[in-house]
Amino acid sequence: MHLPRPVYSGRLLSVTLVSCFALLVLTLGWPLLSGRLYVGDDLGNFHIPIRYVYQAALQAHHSFLWAPQFFGGLYLHGEGQGGLSHPLHIFLYRALSLQWAFSVEFLLSYLLMFPGMYVFLRRLELPPPAALFGAIIFTFSGFNLLHFMHINAIAIVAHIPWLLAAIDLLFRTTDGRQVALAQLFIALATASQLLLGYPQYVWFSALAEVALVAFRLRSSTTGWRVGAFVWATAVGVLLGGVQLLPTIEALRNSVRSDPSLQFRLSGSLEPVNLMQLWSPYGLDGRVKGVNIHEFGLYNGSVCTVALGWLFLRRRALGRWRTLVAACGAFAGAMLLLALGSHGGIYPAMVRLPLLGLFRVPSRHIVLVHLALAVLAAVMMADVLGFAQRPKQRMPWACLWPLAIPVGLSALTLGGYIWISRGPVRYQSLIPFSSLRRTALGAGLIVAATLLLVAVARGYRMAPLWIAMLTVADLSAWGLSYVWSVPAQDLQEFLERIPAPPGNHTGERVHVAPGSPYWSCAYRADRERAGMAPGRCSTACCSPTYENALVMKGYRIAGGYFALTPRRELPREDATSQRLLGVRWIFKDGGWMDLDGALPRTRLVTEAAVTRDVARDMHKLDTRRTALVDRSVGDLTATAVGTAYIVTDSPGLIEVMIAASGRQLLILSETYDSGWRATEDGRQIPIYRAYGDLMACVVTSATQRVVFSFEPDSFRWGLEASIGGGILAIVSFLGCLLLGRKAPAPASEGGQRP
């Protein structure tokens, strides 16, 4: 039967969406490409300083495992979020300037996420315009733009659609070569995620992957496909061992090794935030909570209204009906996890091994947005069908599901008016924003609803306008937050960092809590930019730009990191600061010179074993007596000597010794089990001095002591990665050589996919 040519083509919509993607990437990246950097929140205080230290180590051919610039010395590779062993990072920060390397790293996640999501949606048999629509929604979703400062997290999220596409290929292909390629890709992509050093987001990826496997098991007739997926994932975990094992060790030695239940439940999405779905600007500061980026549930008005359309069309969706039901269930489950302590599921889940180490359950929003993007793409595919049949009309009475979001918006707006005019005590019920912003959010919902009504009534250009509204809506929601702290030239950024008077680079400094360095980054930067201060509270405050002092050549006694290492020396005690070699303290708005700071290396002739450093260090003269973790034997009380450093690079410290007897060498570098010490080429034991520092025994025969950082976790992780690489190659070649023709899984309706 000859079908008439459709009166509407999706080609214009596809061209428009690709153009919008290019424009959004250019808009997002223009400050970076023009020589400036985004420095808001964790970018300026965390990621840029880490990458500065990392690049300096790479270009000087030093070890990047250890960073003497933070906490008196830190296992930086174990902390993870620099992604120091990722091949892409090694290439970027060795080959390019900090400005360009960071710019490429920042933009690459969004550049790769869009085609990945498109490929995945095409694997779900959605037409190209609908796949492009879903891809642009997920790439610039509320989560992905609001979390721009968590650069490693977004990089891991960018892998998710590619992994889902590979898994779908693995479960549905009948070509043995494609099976081999899919397995190899799953292994490499999983390893890449782990090498980025943010395990919580790898967990989110795993949830999405398992959900897709369960969805495809409906039609898969062979169990070997599940085994192939599990094997590929296991190989990927082995490949990522070079980062995974050091991270486990850093976690074990951090203050987060045994978190309380309250800590694990912190960052739960409060139920009132569900209001964002139909009134995105109705809450004061957009969200109920201290961090907008952690609680931003909104993903565009079209995603909200799409739920009503899909419910309305549930019996006419054909082959997409099961997909819609599965995505809806997945979105609901992830929303319950995001609610954390309010959802009922998460409190039980965090009691499980490993999962209990994560916090901020609201981050499961990323998977809610993933599911919403798929649902919106299905809606667009169905809408395009209507646009191709302009004579088809839906009765007005059938459109009632589309009125639900509009009704909720109207109720919210009415509630705002009622509460604002009522007694003051009512105004604490819901933290409403202004009337104008609340009305703006309602207007977006109304506009999206009217466009879908236009589709239902036969207006064939409605899909194009739906796409334009979505792009504008998501851009306004996300880019306004990205730009809340203006991008700055790197030199301009560094000039804002208060440094000690004079040229004292190389010295160790300390920033005291409560100083201006510890003000809220969001508020401080907006005030500098002449903008409204915005909302924040002490809960979102961090040591603002303290880490950036290392970019001016200083070493800091503290720092701002996720896996803050445990320390025994009280950092605010003057004696502790002198032991650490701190020369300057930022306190009460200015720098103070600390008298009596001890040298970086010295020899002592007395030692005492202690179990409580903080108590015992005030009972003796720390200049002459060392507090150690175990007996060092007899020292020569009358011995004299000198010690001076001839090599002081990350992970490698060489000390020349001139002693007249048996003495204890003290080095003000943080103790870690990964350190090794050799005396004139012979390995000697390292003791913990004052709880946090390193010491070793030297004699009159000692001429040189070399401290080198060689952690077992990195060595074992590297061996695991090499083994995983061998297994990945063997598995790939094995699949190719066997040339097994995979049985075709039955698709819905009994047809081949």
- In 133-183, where do the E strands start and end? none
Grouping H, G, I as helix, E, B as strand and the rest as coil, residue 262 is helix
pLDDT digits (tens, 9 = 90+) for 433-464: 788 888 899 999 999 999 999 888 878 788 89
Tell me: do 706 and 717 sit in the same domain: no
Chain-centroid distance, C-alpha 347: 22
Tell me: do 606 and 735 sit in the same domain: no
Tell me: do 15 and 113 sit in the same domain: yes
In a domain, 362, yes or no: no
The amino acid sitting at 577 is Q
Tally of structural domains, the chain: 2
Tell me: do 137 and 191 sit in the same domain: yes
Tell me: do 141 and 97 sit in the same domain: yes
Which single residue is written with the structure tokens 């081999």? 180
Query: Which residue positions in the chain have pLDDT lower than 70?
Result: 1-9, 220-222, 390-391, 422-430, 514-544, 739-753
Tell me: do 616 and 715 sit in the same domain: no
Tell me: do 650 and 720 sit in the same domain: no
| DSSP assignment of 271-291 | GGGGGGGT-TT-BTTSSSSS-
Which of 126, 165, 141 shows the shortest CA–CA distance to 14? Answer: 126
Q: How high is the pLDDT of residue 429? A: 63
How buried is 260 (Cβ within 10 angstroms: 0-12 exposed, 13-18 middle, 19+ buried)? Answer: exposed
CA distances to 4, 81, 205, 366 from 200, rounded to whole Å, are: 52, 11, 9, 12
Task: Please name the helix (run of DSSP H) or strand (run of DSSP E) that holds residue 160, with its range, or none.
Answer: helix 151-172
In a domain, 204, yes or no: yes
In this structure, is the dihedral angle defined by the CA atoms of residues 596, 597, 601 and 605, taken in order, positive or negative?
A: positive
Tell me: do 87 and 180 sit in the same domain: yes
In a domain, 418, yes or no: no
Q: Are 282 and 432 in contact (CB under 8 A)?
A: yes
In a domain, 210, yes or no: yes
In a domain, 99, yes or no: yes
Q: How high is the pLDDT of residue 748? A: 44
pLDDT digits (tens, 9 = 90+) for 137-188: 999 999 999 999 999 999 999 999 999 999 999 999 888 889 999 999 999 9
Q: Please count the residues of the chain.
A: 753
Q: Are 569 and 580 in contact (CB under 8 A)?
A: yes
* Two tokens, residue 533: 């201060």
Grouping H, G, I as helix, E, B as strand and the rest as coil, residue 606 is strand
Q: Are 522 and 39 in contact (CB under 8 A)?
A: no
The amino acid sitting at 691 is G
Tell me: do 737 and 664 sit in the same domain: no
Q: How high is the pLDDT of residue 398? A: 83
In a domain, 377, yes or no: no
* Two tokens, residue 66: 């250890």
Three-class secondary structure assignment of 515-571: CHHHCCHHHHHHHHCCCCCCCCCHHHCCCCCCHHHHHHCCEECCCCCCCCECCCCCC
Q: Which residues of 442-478 are buried (b: 16+ CB within 10 A; e: fewer)?
A: bebbbbbbbbbbbbbbebbebbbbbbebbbebbbebb
Range of the domain at 4: 1-34+80-256+711-742
Cα 267 to Cα 291: distance, rounded to the nearest angstrom: 9
In a domain, 683, yes or no: yes
The amino acid sitting at 161 is P
In a domain, 641, yes or no: yes
How buried is 661 (Cβ within 10 angstroms: 0-12 exposed, 13-18 middle, 19+ buried)? Answer: middle
Tell me: do 605 and 723 sit in the same domain: no
Tell me: do 688 and 731 sit in the same domain: no
Tell me: do 87 and 214 sit in the same domain: yes
